């Protein structure tokens, strides 16, 4: 007797061929979706939410596009996740990793159709990935010792990263900004101390890097607008208790005089607290919460600059930068660590007033102020710059550099092809397929630039067969160019992450032979 259905209603299962088909198609569809954003001539996508406000995002950052999609296909979700991880880990290569994984699956589908077992394909892919990585390792350049050359490498990497983004018009300007900012970090990968402030107005060219720290707040009424050699107390405490706030409690009084007494007591309490704060010997007080008019007056009388409502990111960063700690109790001033800076003043950027802290304790902090025509433009510029900063901070730690423009893929493909010729058995088909998938990246780059990709890739392959060639695709002139002369470089860490993540994701999807979709658990009626 055959069991008709093992699962409850509404649950579905797909087996064998159909399950594999569903995963392949889902993954390839996702890869085709972001494929057009790859390379310096890649196009942007508009993402519009259907929620309130119909917010619009214009972007060509693979991870941002995929993060915003709500996807039903399980295999497609795996690709979305690898692009997210790539974004968190190294910042760039989010599109390449998805395109490569999609191509590996497209090749695998052909092999599965010609009756090669998925495990054989996986074994071949594993060998190919290892060989490809070793081929790159043989050809890396490392200029860590020579600081001048290393800085040039960083500039080239930043320019290459930015050339596929919205900032490509002013890429030299922004590459310099990004390299200066990362050089100040002195090898830490903590991008927290690089603050990016976006101010609409002006053009992208007006963006600049500021040595100090800029807080997007205004200075209170009647307080000094400029303080030299500031001692800063950064706090997170309630400064609004001079009004009676007794929620849900009842106070019965005989006369108005008693109410005045209660208010007087509250004020006294506040005055004591302000006095305690001033006793720290400070001349600038930054609070995360509100500061009411009364304590503000007291601070102004004492000549202390009080800044209220500095949002949490703001005070966290400010504490980090000025070398202070966030305080919430003020009873023993000796245990509180104050922040210091040489000068606090009010500056104008565009229409807005901001507070500028210069000469801060931690020299590695800086603020990048982005200007631009519209908020959408600024958001995209921030994403692009963030990618560049991530890649640079990773490269400072792992200083191995490769050429860009489809060169690494061709080097890997050549090594993998040679491996396929040496390998006996069915695995060699899988290894050959891996090399075809790698060539898909230069193919896509030239397709997006409107070039004849078949012709370009054939020329590239011929160049690379000659020996140690540094040929890649020069999309600007539309021909095969010398990447070393054009100064197109990429970080080894990014390429390695792309190669390994894409291979592992493709393996994972290849192993699938059944998809079971469960029905949601129904709520029982308690009537």
Question: In whole angstroms, how large is the CA radius of gyration of the chain?
Answer: 30
Catalytic residue status for 4: no
CA dist 506 and 25 (Å) reads 13
Active-site choice (57, 59, 64, 94): 94
- For residue 359, give both structure tokens: 């000469």
pTM given for the model: 0.84
Q: From first to last of its 527 residues, what are the pLDDT tens digits of the chain? A: 455 667 777 777 888 788 888 888 888 999 998 999 988 888 888 988 887 777 888 888 888 888 888 888 888 888 999 999 888 888 888 899 999 999 999 999 999 999 999 999 999 999 999 999 999 999 888 877 888 888 888 888 888 888 888 777 888 888 888 888 888 877 676 777 788 888 888 888 888 888 777 877 777 667 777 888 888 888 887 777 655 555 656 777 788 888 788 778 888 888 888 888 888 888 888 888 877 777 788 888 887 888 877 776 667 777 777 777 887 777 777 777 888 888 888 888 878 888 888 877 666 677 888 888 888 888 888 888 888 888 888 888 888 888 888 898 999 999 999 999 999 989 999 999 999 999 998 999 899 888 898 999 999 889 888 877 888 888 888 888 888 888 888 889 999 999 999 999 999 989 888 888 877 777 766 65
Catalytic residue status for 241: no
Catalytic residue status for 452: no
Active-site choice (387, 417, 447, 474): 387
175, 384 contact by CB (below 8 A): no
Active-site choice (37, 57, 61, 87): 61
350: left (phi over 0), alpha (psi -120 to 50) or beta: left
CA dist 505 and 24 (Å) reads 12
CA angle in degrees (0–180, nearest 5) for 439-441-446? 100
* DSSP calls for 58-83: EE--HHHHHHT-----HHHHHHHHHH
Spatial neighbors of 115 by CB under 8 A, at least 6 apart, are none
Q: Whats the size of the chain, residue-wise?
A: 527
Catalytic residue status for 153: no
Active-site choice (57, 64, 95, 159): 95
């Amino acid at each position: 007797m055959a069991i008709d259905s093992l699962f409850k209603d509404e649950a579905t299962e797909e087996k064998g061929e159909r399950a594999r088909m569903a995963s392949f198609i889902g993954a390839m569809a996702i890869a085709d979706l972001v494929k057009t954003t790859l390379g310096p001539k890649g196009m942007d996508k508009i993402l519009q939410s259907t929620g309130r406000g119909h917010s619009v995002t214009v972007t060509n950052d693979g991870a941002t596009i995929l993060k915003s999609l709500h996807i039903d296909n399980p295999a497609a979700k795996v690709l979305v996740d690898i692009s997210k991880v790539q974004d968190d880990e190294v910042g760039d290569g989010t599109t390449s990793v998805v395109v490569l994984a999609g191509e590996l699956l497209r090749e695998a589908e052909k092999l599965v159709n010609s009756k090669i077992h998925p495990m054989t394909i996986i074994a071949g892919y594993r060998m190919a990935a290892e060989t490809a990585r070793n081929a790159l390792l043989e050809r890396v350049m490392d200029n860590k010792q020579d600081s001048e050359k290393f800085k040039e490498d960083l500039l080239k990497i930043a320019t290459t990263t930015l050339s596929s983004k919205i900032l490509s018009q002013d890429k030299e300007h922004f590459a310099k900004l990004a390299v200066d900012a990362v050089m100040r970090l002195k090898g830490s990968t903590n991008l927290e101390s690089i603050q990016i402030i976006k101010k609409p107005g002006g053009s992208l060219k007006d963006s600049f890097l500021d040595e100090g720290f800029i807080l997007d707040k205004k200075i209170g009424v009647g307080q000094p607008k400029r303080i030299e050699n500031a001692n800063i107390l950064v706090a997170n405490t309630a400064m609004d208790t001079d009004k009676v706030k007794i929620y849900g409690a009842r106070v019965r009084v005989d006369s108005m005089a008693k109410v005045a007494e209660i208010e007087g007591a509250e004020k006294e309490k506040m005055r004591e607290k302000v006095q305690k704060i001033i006793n720290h010997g400070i001349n600038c007080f930054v609070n995360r919460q509100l500061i009411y008019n009364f304590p503000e007056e007291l601070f102004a009388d004492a000549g202390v600059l009080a800044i209220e409502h500095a949002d949490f990111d703001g005070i966290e960063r400010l504490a980090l930068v000025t070398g202070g700690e966030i305080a919430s109790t003020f009873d023993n001033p000796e245990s509180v660590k104050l922040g210091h800076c040489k000068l606090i003043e009010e500056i104008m950027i565009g229409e807005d007033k901001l507070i500028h802290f210069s000469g801060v304790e931690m020299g590695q902090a800086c603020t990048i102020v982005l200007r631009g025509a519209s908020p959408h433009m600024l958001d995209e510029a921030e994403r692009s710059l963030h990618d560049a900063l991530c890649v640079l901070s990773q490269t400072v730690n792992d200083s191995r550099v490769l050429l860009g423009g489809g060169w690494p893929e061709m080097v890997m493909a050549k090594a993998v092809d040679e491996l396929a010729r040496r390998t006996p058995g069915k695995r060699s088909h899988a290894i050959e397929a891996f090399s075809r998938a790698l060539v898909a990246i230069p193919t896509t780059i030239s397709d997006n630039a409107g070039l004849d990709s078949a012709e370009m890739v054939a020329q590239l392959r011929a160049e690379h067969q000659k020996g140690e060639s540094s040929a890649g695709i020069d999309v600007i002139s539309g021909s095969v160019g010398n990447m070393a002369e054009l100064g197109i470089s990429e970080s080894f860490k990014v390429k390695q992450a792309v190669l390994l993540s894409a291979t592992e994701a493709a393996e994972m999807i290849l192993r699938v032979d059944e998809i079971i979709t469960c029905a949601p658990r129904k709520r029982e009626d308690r009537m």
